[in-house]
Amino acid sequence: MTEIARQTGLTTQEALAAQKLHGWNELPVVARSGPLRVWLRQFSSFLVLILIVAAAIALALGEKVDAITIGLVVMLNAALGFVQEWKAETALASLRKMLSPQAMVLRDGQEQMIPARDIVPGDILVLSPGAKVAADGIVVRAAELQVDESVLTGESVPVAKDGGKSGRNVFAGTSVIAGRAEARVTATGAKTEFGKIAHLTGSVGPKTTNLQNKLGQLARQLGTAALLVAAAVTGLGLLLGRDLAEMVMTGLSLSVAMVPEGLPAVVTITLALGAAAMVRQNALARRLQAVETLGAASVICADKTGTLTENKMTATQVWTMDRSYDVTGTGYDPAGHIAVDGARIRAADDPVLAALLQVGLYCSHARLNREGDHWQMTGAPTEGALITLGYKGWCDLPNERGLLAEIPFSSARKRMSVLYQSENETSVLTKGAPEQVLEVCTQVMTQTGVRALLPVDHDAILQAFHDLAGQGLRVIGLARRTADDKQMTEEALTFLGLVGLIDPPRSEVRDAISLARAAGIKVIMITGDSPITAGAIANQLSLNVTQHLTGADLDKLDDAALDDLLQGDVLFARTKPEQKMRIVSALQAQGQIVAMTGDGVNDAPALKQADIGVSMGIRGTDVARDASDLVLLDDNFATIVRAIGEGRRQFANVQKFVRYLLSSNAGEVIALVVNIAIGGPLVFLATQILWMNLVTDGVTAVALGLEKSEPDQMRQKPRRKDTPILGVSGVVTILVFGTYTGLSSLWVFFHLMDLGVELARTTAFTAMVVFEKVSVFAFRSLRLPSWKIGWFSNPFLLLALAVTLTAQMLAIYWPPLQTLLHTVPMGRDEWALIALFALPIFVVPEVLKALGLRLQRT
């Protein structure tokens, strides 16, 4: 660009030509799933496909009732999944606030606001405090420009941009916090640094959750088993001379009995209810399975800035020649206080502290404003922290008219000075880097007054500075002198003290990390900030760290060395987006289920690579939210731990009702197979099987999915990634329950055959329903007896039992259902027989679990 262009910017015609060449200043729009695609996605499950095929076969055989019933279940499952996923997509759309829609540019020689998407290379951006940089550019003119680049780099300290080699480039998505500048645009849209990281995020392919994989595997196994058993039984019946049509219907009945028709709907309802519960706790699941996957997390990789910390600079320590002060409170809320040896102190009680606070308050352009119950800071974070410190010390607030002159901060001088007129005197007030402030000091203030600055004092100040910096604090030196001549000169100043600042950890994070550790979950900090600062935050959070590693160190390690390193407690600092992805991939290669938290665009690739990406809803960038599976609406790290508990509850409940449903189905299958093998009439009709599986079992299983968390849930280690939904113990449980209920119902059937096949079939049918209702108590917990978790802790289950048993009564005694289900009324003797066989199903599991609990304690 020529010097004239720098002064006047592009003309309208030049901007239009550049727009045609370079396109709009926006990232490529992520192809979002429309309502039709989200709807069709609900039919991709293998279990759902099995149900669709079963409905088609039933329809082809003329069994319209069966076909309609199965179809209704499939549509219910699809509707539930669609509502939740579409709600999540629309909620995310309302969160979009990454880039400012407007930007100030210099065009045709005039400053004008234009849509950010209209910016083209060659434009001159006019930058001022509070503005977001709309495109990458090179600073051509600057006055004390400072930019917050934490969204790109994770670095919490603002970066000075003076147009020289030390700070020429500004980047899209970053924020101006102080100063003013003009920058020539060099890249827009996908060609910006922001865009490049977004492209890196897009390079990570789609992922499926652990629960999706397990349910898919279970569906394939059930589908294969159903087809094989149905074919074998049909063939066996034909070999025994049974009627072809009868055996085809029997095979269909077996297929229906083996495939738990209610399972997809129950899973969807359970996950949807869990997702709704998490929204009430400020966590939005973009996919139903997201929370369950988080429940399996064995490692949480947490970004520091804005996730573990508040992203608000806060003064925590003050040092003077003869006193050290602690400062309470965080952020820009002045509710805290200053203390010496535990005793609160104010400016009026301490002349040195009063002078130091006055410099911090008056030598500043930051402001604090109260808006309702919240305090808002405008200006540079460092100055905001010093203003807040002054409020905490009850220092007199400055008079804006008292500011007479200023020597602004520069990266060369690293200090700022003002000439300030108070009621009693005129003073030069200076703050900046301690070494640079000491350069212009000849005196030091102590509790006994002002005296000459001796070499020993100089060494003590530098030692205090290094001690504070070693704690990860950003250290500011403050000084002053009386200027009776009202001359603005930085010389012969009196050194007052040092202030240590840090971006403090969120108050709830320490307890959340402790809970995660108790649950066997490892927390690893991965940040773009310095290792010293990151280490200080880790120490405050009681996060176990034995080794610090920077991104440069990481690049020197091969995969084997990184794998060994990740076995210990390590902290990663100064990391780049691709390095975060590598860390996540290395953990996944170990078989870990990795949750990654973050809010910046620099976190987005790792968020998408992780098994479960968790982004921040308030401060989080558009790209980070798009890459995540779970959005924290309150940006609260502690919400993650609550979500882990919810996820563990969900998986445990999925295991419970899967075993419950399959145990029920196994009893039906065993009764049918044995009955056919011995040549008896059908013990259950296809319509009755559908009634058991869809109407009675389905409702009960949904209620079982609402079981509360077990008492020791968050003291258990994370489950292994290869943990099956069933496992050997699950299969054994299913076979035991299935064998007992199947043979019992079959015995009842043949015992009553002399009274008529319809009464025998009705009683066997009702017996199986009652057996399945009673057995649900055995599945409320797979380890604890019902008295341990509370008999009435799940009122939904008790309601479901009442509803389903009432429905079964109607099926026996209400004429329309009698016709549909081919039942006849039962007498008192039949009910007594059913109760006799049902009692062991209730008692034996409770006794066994109580004995197991006692053995664990001994």
Answer whether residue 560 is part of any domain: no
CB 477 within 8 A of CB 437: yes
- Average per-residue pLDDT for the chain: 83
Average pLDDT over every residue of 418-430: 91
**Distance of alpha carbon 323 from alpha carbon 307, whole angstroms:** 34
Same-domain status, 455 and 331: yes
**So what's the pLDDT on residue 6?**
45
What confidence tens digit (pLDDT) does each residue in 389-403 have? 999 999 988 876 788
Set 303, 503, 635, 697: catalytic member:
303
Question: Of the residues 187, 205, 227, which one is the last residue of a structural domain?
Answer: 187
**Sign (positive/negative) of CA torsion 362, 367, 368, 372?**
positive
> Percent helix, strand, coil in the chain (nearest 5)?
50, 20, 30
| Residues 362 and 266 both lie in one domain | no
For the ranges 161-175, 258-272, 635-649, 769-783, the one whose mean pLDDT is highest: 769-783
* Same-domain pairing of 155 and 267: no
DSSP state of 593: -
- Give the confidence band of 190 by pLDDT, cuts at 50, 70, 90: confident
Q: Of 497, 515, 530, which residue is a domain's last?
A: 497
Please check whether residue 414 lies inside any domain of the structure. Answer: yes
Q: What is the pLDDT of residue 165?
A: 56
Using 50, 70 and 90 to split pLDDT, how confident is the model at 95? very low
Please state the rounded mean pLDDT for residues 305-312.
81
Query: What is the average pLDDT across 784-813?
Result: 90
CATH number, domain of 802, equals 1.20.1110.10
Instruction: Give the whole-angstrom CA distance, residue 535 versus residue 550.
Output: 12
The percentage of the chain sitting over the pLDDT mark of 90, rounded to a whole number, equals 33
- pLDDT value, residue 205: 47
CATH of the domain at 12: 2.70.150.10
Shared domain check, 269 and 326: no
Q: 727 and 767, same structural domain?
A: yes
Neighbours of 588 (CB within 10 A): 16
- 358 and 265 part of one domain: no
Residue 147 domain-assigned? yes
Q: Are strands 169-170 and 136-148 parallel, antiparallel or unpaired?
A: antiparallel
Sign of CA dihedral 623, 628, 633, 637: negative
Contact (Cβ atoms closer than 8 angstroms) between residue 637 and residue 615: no
| Same domain (yes/no): 24, 157 | yes
Task: Please give the backbone phi and psi of residue 276, each rounded to the nearest 5 degrees, phi first.
Answer: -65, -40
**Is residue 408 classed exposed, middle or buried when 0-12, 13-18 and 19+ CB atoms within 10 A define those classes?**
middle
DSSP class of 62: T
Q: For this structure, is 350 an active site residue?
A: no
Query: What is the rounded average pLDDT of the residues 423-436?
Result: 92
Please name the amino acid found at residue 730. Answer: G
Mean pLDDT of 753-770: 94
What is the C-alpha separation between 275 and 430, in angstroms, rounded?
54
Determine the structural domain holding residue 754 and report its residue range: 261-285+642-857
Q: What is the DSSP letter of 342?
A: T
Band the pLDDT of 288: cuts 50, 70, 90.
low
| pLDDT tens digits, 631-677 | 888 877 788 888 888 888 888 888 888 888 888 888 988 998 888 77
824 pLDDT band (50/70/90 cuts)? very high
Who's near 788: CB < 8 A, 6+ residues apart? 711, 781, 853
Q: What is the pLDDT of residue 500?
A: 96
Q: Are residues 672 and 773 in the same domain?
A: yes
Is residue 74 assigned to a domain? Answer: no
Q: How many domains does the chain fold into? A: 3
What pLDDT does residue 480 have? 97
**Per-residue pLDDT for 736 more than 80?**
yes
- Burial of residue 244 (CB within 10 Å: 0-12, 13-18, 19+) is exposed
What is the pLDDT, as a whole number, of residue 249? 65
Residue 298 resides in a domain: no
Q: Residue 762 has what pLDDT?
A: 96
pLDDT at 387 over 90: yes
Same domain, 362 and 273: no
Question: Is residue 9 left, alpha or beta, with left meaning phi > 0 and alpha meaning psi from -120 to 50?
Answer: left
Rounded CA gap, 833 and 747, in Å?
A: 11
Q: Decide: 167 and 139 in contact? Cβ < 8 Å.
A: yes
Could you tell me the sign of the dihedral formed by the alpha carbons of 265, 266, 271, 272, in that order?
A: positive
Amino acid at 286: R
Bridge partners (DSSP) of residue 500 are: 317, 475
Confidence of residue 92 (pLDDT cuts 50, 70, 90): very low
Q: What is the CATH number of the domain that holds 361?
A: 3.40.1110.10
| Amino acid 220: pLDDT | 74
% of the chain residues with pLDDT over 70: 85
Please tell me the distance from the alpha carbon of residue 314 to that of residue 154, in angstroms, as a whole number: 17
> Which one is predicted more confidently, 97 or 203?
203
pLDDT at residue 784, rounded to an integer? 85
Domain-located, residue 368 = yes
Q: Tell me whether residue 767 is in a domain.
A: yes
Q: Give the pLDDT score at 4.
A: 36
Answer with the residue of higher pLDDT: 655 or 351: 351
Q: Are residues 266 and 394 in the same domain?
A: no
Please tell me the pTM assigned to this model. 0.68
pLDDT of residue 442: 97
pLDDT of residue 608: 82
- What pLDDT sits at residue 100? 40
- Determine the average pLDDT of the residues in 357-362: 95
Q: Which pLDDT tens digit goes with each residue over 443-466?
A: 999 999 999 999 999 999 999 999
Rg from Cα positions in the chain: 35
Q: What is d(CA 197, CA 136) in angstroms, rounded to the nearest whole number?
A: 13
| pLDDT > 50? residue 759 | yes
| Cα-based torsion angle of the residue sequence 391, 395, 400, 401 in order, rounded to the nearest 10 degrees | 170
What was the pLDDT predicted at 82?
76
What integer pLDDT is reported at residue 99 of this predicted model? Answer: 33
Do 169 and 273 sit in the same domain of this protein?
no
- The answer to the question of residue 62 being in a domain is no
The DSSP output letter for 777 is G
Structure token pair of residue 810: 């109607």
- Of 25-39, 41-55, 86-100, give the lowest mean pLDDT range: 86-100
| Residue of 281, 209, 293 whose CA lies nearest to 636 | 281
Segment 538-563 shows an average pLDDT of: 91
- For residue 7, the model assigns a pLDDT of 58
Picking from 748, 730, 625, 780, the residue whose alpha carbon sits closest to that of residue 675 is 748
Measured CA to CA, the distance from residue 688 to residue 766 in angstroms comes to: 10
For residue 476, what pLDDT band results from cuts at 50, 70 and 90? very high
For residues 268 and 404, membership in a common domain is answered with no
